[in-house]
Every structure is written in structure tokens, then in C-alpha cells.
A and B are shown apart, each in its own frame.
Chain A
Amino acid sequence: MKRPSGKVFRNDAYAKVTGKAKYSDDLKFFNMVHAVPVYSDYIHAENLQVDTAAAEKSAGVLKVITAADVPGSIRFGQIDQDYCMFAEKKIMWAGDVVALVVAEQRSQALSAADKVVVSADPLPVVSDPEAALSPESPIVREIKNSNLMNHHKMRRGDAPQELKNCDIVLQEEFSTQFIEHAYMEPESAVCVPRQDGVMEVYGSMQHPFSTRRFVGALLGEPLSHIEVYQPPTGGGFGGKDDTAAIVCARAALAARLLNRPVKLTYTREWSIRESYKRHPYRLNYKVGIEKSGRVKAVQVRMISDGGPYLSVSPWVNWRSTAQCFGPYTVDNVYADVLCAATNNPVTGAMRGFGAPQVNFAVEQISDIAAERLGISPLEYRRINMVKQDGETVTGQVLDTHTVSMEQVMDRVAGEIGYEEKLSRCTRGTSEDDELYGVGLSISYRGSSLGAEGMDFCSSVINCQFDGSILLETGIHENGQGSESVMMLLLAEQLGVRLDRIKYKRSSTSNVPDGGTTVATRGTIMGGGAVTAAVRKLKQLMADNLNDVLQCRPEEVRFEDDHVLGPDNESKITWDEAMQHLFLKRVYPYAFGSFQAPDVSWDEETGQGDAYFTYVYSCQAVELTVNKSTGKIKLQNIVAAHDIGRAVNRAMVLGQMYGGITQGVGMALSEDLEIEDGKFAHLDLNHYKIPKARELPEITGIIVENPDPQSPSKAKGIGEPALELIAPAIANALYNATGIRYRDMPLKVNPEELK
């Protein structure tokens, strides 16, 4: 490969900028056939009948697969095994698939799909999460005979009692909407039965290991019989887990039944219809504050819409619970976070994972409280924010890393000129057509899975005797640049040239299951695993090369593509080192694993060491609002995040810009318009993600306090970037108009400005 010179390192940039990168739908195999899904017009229905006779007779059709053809489990899931991969007896939501048509040509499969006849008896549609939890509601979630999917609690101090004694008590209610991930590449899978009985899976997915479990479940085959490769993935943002895995599983089933390669590529319409969404939340806060500005007690109830299948709703809700009052220290907290089953779209993981909804409320409350107290929003935050060795609402003492909440906030406030600009906000009164406002928000985010999951990851370094190096980790490339980060860390720590390193094509049959590439855990966990493997490799090399270098093993150093003794007299090149190891019949191979430091959680009290470290963030925005049209125009954004250490600076900034932009979409334009479980639209013409002209210039500030909890000293940036721009925009909107907007997407009615 010709690697172009450049300032930014990405191992996949050349392939992607030339169109040579092969995504799943770009793959063709000999004798490959095509599958398409069939949906029904029902939202909630029973006595499902699927008549495939006419479709089976349609030209080119090889098979129409339904639930009756599944050799393994029809249902699967990451927590509960409730997600129906083929609808069986009942329809639970608009995205249920009743059949898969497989034909020689895709066009033949598409026309046959129209001939599948579906009938069922409609049931009442449960679409309001609050109503779903009332005893009168029809039961959606029959496996538990209850629509309550999840209930997390926090019981810290005595909030209900303390609220009675507070000088100020705020009562605030907020709501958020369904959000579509809108990755540019719709789901696609190509499955190829191999002669040794293994099913090869090529798919657009975030998590090959998770995909392998779904495929194994549907086929009823062990994990060793399935090898999942991840071609370049055209974006994920948390959204290519369950659904993308199920697309792979269905294609694998068709390939198994027909013993031919099968491609199943989704249209955008199917992608929006069937992929899970970000949970809509309703949040009710009661916040008690002393005259001093100190928050004394918080009582909160959140209810989220889980759709019919559980997916990872309890984990999403858990993060909302652990971070239920933002980055503030409060001694009395009483929180209930509920998830209700409905017949609305399935909700699951999306970048931010239960934090953007909470921050939208909490950071508006911060500004509301500051105004009531008559102090600056910065001052209110300074009084209440977590500090070095301070305590979180979960009772965790933050003494193992630098708590940089104030540093990060000051960097943003200084850069944008917050205090001065705040005094110039129009608050609804302006001679001009345009109202002006500035707004800010802060957050902290627990890194990686925390107490929600088993957190470990591995890496393999396989040095070749010609001097080249193969690297792999259990973390996967979703477009964020994880492979490049791992390569940079290896080159740096091993002191070798970057161009020696080749990142191996990922396969679930090589490196052990490293968990899912989620939760901003790629850099911290994968980087930890690489660091551990490098340590082992260096030890092995030192033990076997110290005689050549005439020193003790602990004196051996690795620098500038050389292996050296204590002084620069004795040194050999990397290539020579490999030759020496070959002659000694020693493999320069290392396996390293990183287990996240211990975390803890008490389900009854919601107390514990929720995460082993935190990323600290602040974002601010300036905007104008047109008085006659209500149109909101963002003018400037500044963001700062303490990510421990930046491994690949341009990519860190890219994550910031991209995360902020997704947050802008959530705040201002994105709305799936679901009514009674039905989608109003299934296209990107109506679901409006931000375009280039709708964004202002963004200034990204990288704050680096190396984190002792992370072997590479780096944390992560994927999710922190997204989780706090929406409340900053809402605060700026208030400062511009004098009106508090509590429901997303934020819409200004110009009538209210008069």
C-alpha cells in the first residue's frame, strides 16, 4: 500500500479517500444470493399468520424463511433473551420482521416480498410509557408479566425530609425525544458458509463478538462455528449492536439453509424502521438549595420508553442513575429511574447512553438555580461541582485521578468570554431582528462500563522475524480511529517506527472477546491491553537480548527503532534484534490483557464506586434567534474535555466536533415523530441531521491530566463530546429569549417573542 505522507495518522485513510475501502455491501462472493426482510402493517397484534405460498412461487425465489425455519433460538438479547429475530405469533412493534425472502437477484427478492401475505388480530397499542406502568395497561412484556422493564434507585441521605428545610425549592420537568443514530451506512451483512462448517460473517456492525452471540443463538451453533469479520463500518454511534447483529444472524441463517453466500443489505427505510433508538425520557426534578448556593437535596423521577424488547435499557438507565445530578456533590438524593415497555420503537444504546437526557435537565437547572440565587451560573457550578478528593452522588471519593471540573470550565468560560457575553444577552428584548444569547454546561462522565458490566480487554503483538509487526486488540474500528490509536501507542511504547506495524483484520476467531466497543472504552481499555502486551514483550526481549547487549535485562531500553543497553555503546537495530531472537528460537510474541480497576454498586441505595475514572467536560455556545421567524442560528461553540492524554490529536478533535454536532441535532432538528407506535417518515429527508451550513466554527480544547488509572494515561472522548451541548443551547436560548425551553427538540414559536 502506498501510504501518503500526512500530519494526521489514520491507517485506513488512504483506502477510504480513494473509494477502495470495501464496506459490507461492496463485497461479492461466487454464487451469492440476496435476502430482503418483510415487515407487517401492524404495531401490536396476535394470531400472526404469514402466508408465503405466492412469494415462494415468485421468479428467482429460493426460500422464504419464517420463525418456523429457525433451528436455534428465535429470541435473543444482551440482557434478557426477548428480542424476536423473526416475529412468532405476535407483532410487538413496527420493526418486527415476519419473513426473509431469499432470491437469486435482489430485485426478485424485493418483488416477492410484496407477495408475502400477513394477517393478524390487532391489539391495543401501548404508546405512553407513563400509562404503560399503570395497572390498567395491557401487558406488552409478557415474559415478565409486567411493563416495568427496569427500576434503578438512589437513596442517599434523606432528600424528602431535607427538601422541607431548604431556602429555595425548584420543581422542574423536562422531556427528550426518540433519536435515530443515522449512521451514513445502513446495515448490511454477507454470510458465507465455509467448507469446514464455519459460517463466515462480514457485516456492518460495531461489535463482532456481540454479533457472534446473536448469530450463534439463531443458528443454534457454538461460537467456534462462527467467524465474524468486521469490514469498514460506516458509523455506529452505539447503534450497530442488536439490530445490526440480527441482520447478520438472519443472513447467516439463510446462508446455512441454502448453503450459499447470502447478502442482506438494508435500505435506509428498513434501517430507520428496524434499528433501535435513543430512549426518550421524561424527567421530574425537585431541587432544594440553601441561600449560600449549596444544593442540599435532590429528588428525581425519570421515566424512559423501552419499546417492546429490553436491549440494554437497564444499563442505559443505570448510567442515568449513577449520574442523576450531573457533576455535583449532593448529600441527599432520592432518585427513581424507570423504564416502561411499550409498542414504540425499541430503544437501546446510543452515544451518550442515558447521560444526554439527564444533562439536558440538570444543566438547565443549574442556570435556573443561579438566577434564583442571584449569582453567576459559573459561581453556582463552582460551589456545587465535584472537587479533588470530593464525593460524587454515589458516595465515590474522587482521589485516584485529577478532578479537573473547575479547570475545564474555566478554560471554556475564558475562551468564549462567557461572563462578559452573558451581560450582553438580550433576554427577549432587542432593537434588532435578532436576539442574542450565550449558554454553557458542564458534565462528568464515568469512563468505560463501570459497574454495569464485566470490563476487560486483550491485545496480541506478533513480531515477525523480518522486522514487521502484527497487532490486534479486542477493540473494533467503527470509524473513530481506534486501530490508529492502538498502533500509535504500540509504536510509542516499543520505540519502533510506525510503518513496521500492521493492524490485523479483525476476526472473532483470533483475539479473545474484548467486550463491545462502547462506553468510550476503546482507548482506555484497548490502550491498557496494548500497554500490558508491550510490557510482556519487552520483558521477553530483554531476557533474551541482554547477553548481546552485555547488560542486565532490566537495563535494556527500546528507543528510535533500536534495542539498547544502558549506554548508547551497545545497541542493535530492531531488525537485528529480530534476527537474534530467531537464532535463539524465541518467538517475539506477547498477549496482554487489562482488567478495569474494581468498581462497586449497591442496587438498593444506588451507592458505590460507580466508575474507575471520569472525563470532565464543558461546552459553551453563542446563538441568535430571529424574532419574526423564531429561527435559531448557532454562531460559535467552544468545548473543553479532560481526556487524560491525547494519543491522536486530530482524531480527538474530530470526535469533539462530531459529538457536538450530533448533540446539536438532538437539541434543534432531530425528531422521529412516532405516533401510536407508527413512524411518520422513514427517510433522511424528514429526519434532519445537521448539515454543514447549520453549524458554526467549533473550538476544541484538549485538557490533559494524565490518568494514573489508565495504563496509557489516556481516557476517551466519544461520548463526552455529545452529552452536554443540548443544555448549553437551551441555556443560551433562555438568555436570548427570556423563555425556558424544556422539551427537545427546542422550537421557538415567534408568537411568544412578541
Chain B
Amino acid sequence: MSTEQTTPVLTVNGTEHALTETELNMNLLDYIREVLNLTGTKNGCGTGACGSCTVLIDDAARRSCLTKVSSVVGKRITTIEGFEQPDGTLHPIQQAFIDAGAIQCGFCTPGMVLSAYSLLLKNKHPNREEIRKGINTNLCRCTGYQQIVDAVEQASKTMYP
């Protein structure tokens, strides 16, 4: 009984995972990709510059490459794989990214979607400047951000009409 209580656990996309000592010492990005095989979270730099590794930690967008697993024990992690409805329906933000032409190489896309989600939780109707501020943590080399801003604007209208 007491051992169960002390086993550290991480909830990822609604599923609880018991953590080993080795896993506790990993960074969150490696744990998600290499242990859980959730490869939608990308490694673009490893130094917190690019935001490709963005995940939600209790609904806040965070860089998993700079996060130790031990520092988020007991918290709720959402990756891009946990973002669709169980029946495969896309989240309105995902649909808006497709409709606005906001996807090119796609490497930054999962992180961008999660940062946009975190922004819209805090600000349901951001203006374009506020959207740019909200995704400023995420680098994209393909799109020039404009259609990403369009997508977040569209998603805001769909989610909070």
C-alpha cells in the first residue's frame, strides 16, 4: 500500500505511467519520444530555442527538452497525440491549421498547435498582435507565420463564437 503511494506517476494524454528511477532522470522530451514512442513531439534544438518540443503541462505550453521528468511528477501532460477527439475528429485548432494553409514541412506544427491552445485558454479572442506574442516562443522556418496567425484567429472564432 505504501509503496503504491510513493511510486511516482506521470499522466500523459490521460494514461498514467509509473516512472522508474532512470526515467525520472530523463528529460521529458526523451521520455515522451523514446519511452512512450509518442513521436509527434519534435526535437528541433535541445536548447529551448525553437519550441518544436512544446507540450502542455497542466494546460500550460512548456518546452519538454528543458524539463526534467522528475520535476513534473504527478502533473498532467498533453502531447499532440492527445489532442484529437477519441473518434479521430480534429480539434478546431488543428482543423484551422489545415484550412488556413498553415502547414508546410510540419515539423513545428505540433508545438505550434499546443502553444496556440495554451494562448486561447488564457485569451479567447486574441487580436493578431496578441497571437504573434502567444506563438513567439515557437520558431517556424517555412511559413513566415502569417497563415499560422490566420489559423489561430479562425480557431478562436470557431471555439468561442
Residues of chain A touching chain B, judged by Cβ–Cβ distance below 8 Å, are 2, 4, 6-8, 10, 12-23, 25-26, 28, 181-186, 232-237, 267-269, 478-481, 650-651, 653-654, 656-662, 683-685, 689-693, 695, 697-698
A235, B105: Cβ atoms under 8 Å? yes
**Additional 8 contacts, C-beta under 8 A, given A182-B141, A684-B50:** A12-B106, A16-B106, A183-B105, A479-B106, A650-B100, A650-B147, A692-B131, A698-B144
Q: Which residues of A contact B71 (CB under 8 A)?
A: none
A235, B84: Cβ atoms under 8 Å? no
Q: How far is the CA of A140 from the CA of B88 in the complex (A)?
A: 58
B residues 113-161 touching A (CB-CB < 8 Å): 113, 128-129, 131-133, 135-136, 138-149
Closest to B143 in A: A658
On whether A4 and B95 interact (CB within 8 A), knowing A268-B47, A650-B101, the answer reads: yes
Residue in A181, A237, A692 whose beta carbon sits within 8 Å of that of B145 in the complex? A692
Q: How far is the CA of A689 from the CA of B88 in the complex (A)?
A: 35
Interface string of B50-94 (1 = CB under 8 A from A): 101000000000000000000000000001110110001010001
Q: How far is the CA of A6 from the CA of B141 in the complex (A)?
A: 24
A685, B48: Cβ atoms under 8 Å? yes
Q: Which residues of B contact A181 (CB under 8 A)?
A: 141
B99, A654: Cβ atoms under 8 Å? no
B98, A10: Cβ atoms under 8 Å? yes
Q: How far is the CA of A237 from the CA of B146 in the complex (A)?
A: 19
Chain B interface size range? 35 or more
B145, A661: Cβ atoms under 8 Å? yes
**Distance in Å: Cβ of A56 to nearest Cβ of chain B:** 25
Q: Which residues of B contact A7 (CB under 8 A)?
A: 99
**Distance in Å: Cβ of A575 to nearest Cβ of chain B:** 27
B139, A689: Cβ atoms under 8 Å? yes
Q: List 5 A-B contacts (CB under 8 A).
A: A2-B88, A20-B40, A23-B107, A185-B42, A692-B133
Q: How far is the CA of A181 from the CA of B105 in the complex (A)?
A: 14
On whether A16 and B44 interact (CB within 8 A), knowing A6-B98, A658-B144, the answer reads: no
A184, B99: Cβ atoms under 8 Å? no
Q: How far is the CA of A25 from the CA of B39 in the complex (A)?
A: 9
Q: How far is the CA of A654 from the CA of B106 in the complex (A)?
A: 13
Q: Which residues of A contact B144 (CB under 8 A)?
A: 654, 656-661, 690, 695, 698
* Interface residue? B49 (CB, 8 A): yes
B39, A17: Cβ atoms under 8 Å? no
B136, A692: Cβ atoms under 8 Å? yes
Q: Which residues of A contact B48 (CB under 8 A)?
A: 685
Q: How far is the CA of A650 from the CA of B50 in the complex (A)?
A: 25
Closest to A12 in B: B106
Q: Which residues of A contact B40 (CB under 8 A)?
A: 18-20
A268, B99: Cβ atoms under 8 Å? no
On whether A19 and B41 interact (CB within 8 A), knowing A235-B105, A235-B107, the answer reads: yes
B132, A184: Cβ atoms under 8 Å? no
**Distance in Å: Cβ of A175 to nearest Cβ of chain B:** 24
Q: Which residues of A contact B95 (CB under 8 A)?
A: 4, 6
**Distance in Å: Cβ of B63 to nearest Cβ of chain A:** 12
Q: How far is the CA of A25 from the CA of B41 in the complex (A)?
A: 11
Q: How far is the CA of A16 from the CA of B148 in the complex (A)?
A: 14
Residues of chain B touching chain A, judged by Cβ–Cβ distance below 8 Å, are 33, 37-50, 52, 79-81, 83-84, 88, 90, 94-95, 97-110, 113, 128-129, 131-133, 135-136, 138-149
Q: Which residues of B contact A661 (CB under 8 A)?
A: 143-145
B39, A684: Cβ atoms under 8 Å? no
B132, A692: Cβ atoms under 8 Å? yes
On whether A17 and B139 interact (CB within 8 A), knowing A657-B144, A684-B49, A698-B144, the answer reads: no
Q: How far is the CA of A643 from the CA of B40 in the complex (A)?
A: 35
B149, A183: Cβ atoms under 8 Å? no
Q: Which residues of B contact A235 (CB under 8 A)?
A: 104-105, 107, 141-142
On whether A651 and B46 interact (CB within 8 A), knowing A16-B106, A17-B109, A26-B39, the answer reads: no
Closest to A21 in B: B106
Q: Which residues of B contact A269 (CB under 8 A)?
A: 46
Q: How far is the CA of A615 from the CA of B20 in the complex (A)?
A: 59
B143, A657: Cβ atoms under 8 Å? yes
Q: Which residues of B contact A10 (CB under 8 A)?
A: 98, 101, 103
Closest to B106 in A: A16
**Distance in Å: Cβ of A27 to nearest Cβ of chain B:** 9
B99, A6: Cβ atoms under 8 Å? yes
Q: How far is the CA of A183 from the CA of B110 in the complex (A)?
A: 16
B103, A17: Cβ atoms under 8 Å? yes
Q: Which residues of B contact A691 (CB under 8 A)?
A: 136, 139
Q: How far is the CA of A70 from the CA of B99 in the complex (A)?
A: 49
A184, B141: Cβ atoms under 8 Å? yes
A234, B46: Cβ atoms under 8 Å? no
Residue in B44, B47, B106 whose beta carbon sits within 8 Å of that of A685 in the complex? B47
Q: How far is the CA of A683 from the CA of B45 in the complex (A)?
A: 7
Q: Which residues of B contact A13 (CB under 8 A)?
A: 97-98, 103
Q: Which residues of B contact A656 (CB under 8 A)?
A: 144
**Distance in Å: Cβ of A686 to nearest Cβ of chain B:** 9
Residue in B41, B42, B80, B104 whose beta carbon sits within 8 Å of that of A658 in the complex? B104
Closest to A682 in B: B47
Q: How far is the CA of A236 from the CA of B138 in the complex (A)?
A: 18
On whether A692 and B142 interact (CB within 8 A), knowing A17-B94, A685-B47, the answer reads: no
Closest to A688 in B: B49
A654, B143: Cβ atoms under 8 Å? yes
Top 5 A-B pairs, shortest CB-CB distance: A19-B40, A479-B105, A16-B106, A650-B101, A657-B144
Q: How far is the CA of A684 from the CA of B51 in the complex (A)?
A: 11
Q: Which residues of A contact B148 (CB under 8 A)?
A: 692
Residue in A186, A232, A659 whose beta carbon sits within 8 Å of that of B44 in the complex? A186
Q: Which residues of A contact B84 (CB under 8 A)?
A: 18
Q: How far is the CA of A728 from the CA of B154 in the complex (A)?
A: 31
Q: How far is the CA of A692 from the CA of B152 in the complex (A)?
A: 13
A22, B47: Cβ atoms under 8 Å? no
B80, A662: Cβ atoms under 8 Å? no
Q: How far is the CA of A661 from the CA of B139 in the complex (A)?
A: 12
B98, A14: Cβ atoms under 8 Å? yes
B47, A185: Cβ atoms under 8 Å? no
Closest to A272 in B: B45
Q: How far is the CA of A2 from the CA of B41 in the complex (A)?
A: 21
Closest to A684 in B: B49
A185, B107: Cβ atoms under 8 Å? yes
Residue in A184, A267, A684 whose beta carbon sits within 8 Å of that of B42 in the complex? A184
Q: How far is the CA of A480 from the CA of B81 in the complex (A)?
A: 24
A683, B136: Cβ atoms under 8 Å? no
B39, A19: Cβ atoms under 8 Å? yes
Residue in B90, B140, B149 whose beta carbon sits within 8 Å of that of A4 in the complex? B90
Q: How far is the CA of A22 from the CA of B107 in the complex (A)?
A: 10
Q: How far is the CA of A13 from the CA of B110 in the complex (A)?
A: 12
Q: How far is the CA of A297 from the CA of B37 in the complex (A)?
A: 63
Closest to B128 in A: A697
Q: Which residues of B contact A6 (CB under 8 A)?
A: 95, 98-99
Q: Which residues of A contact B106 (CB under 8 A)?
A: 12, 15-17, 21, 232, 234, 479
B105, A478: Cβ atoms under 8 Å? yes
Q: Which residues of A contact B97 (CB under 8 A)?
A: 13, 17
Q: Which residues of A contact B136 (CB under 8 A)?
A: 691-693
Q: Which residues of A contact B43 (CB under 8 A)?
A: 25, 186
On whether A695 and B105 interact (CB within 8 A), knowing A185-B44, A268-B45, A683-B47, the answer reads: no
Q: How far is the CA of A319 from the CA of B24 in the complex (A)?
A: 54
Q: Which residues of A contact B108 (CB under 8 A)?
A: 184
Q: How far is the CA of A507 from the CA of B41 in the complex (A)?
A: 26
**Distance in Å: Cβ of B79 to nearest Cβ of chain A:** 7
A19, B100: Cβ atoms under 8 Å? no
Q: Which residue, of B99, B107, B144, has the highest number of chain A Cβ atoms within 10 A?
A: B144
Q: Which residues of B contact A653 (CB under 8 A)?
A: 101, 146-147
On whether A19 and B139 interact (CB within 8 A), knowing A684-B50, A692-B132, the answer reads: no
A233, B98: Cβ atoms under 8 Å? no
A662, B132: Cβ atoms under 8 Å? no
**Distance in Å: Cβ of A572 to nearest Cβ of chain B:** 34
Q: How far is the CA of A474 from the CA of B131 in the complex (A)?
A: 39
Q: How far is the CA of A691 from the CA of B107 in the complex (A)?
A: 16
Q: Which residues of A contact B109 (CB under 8 A)?
A: 16-17
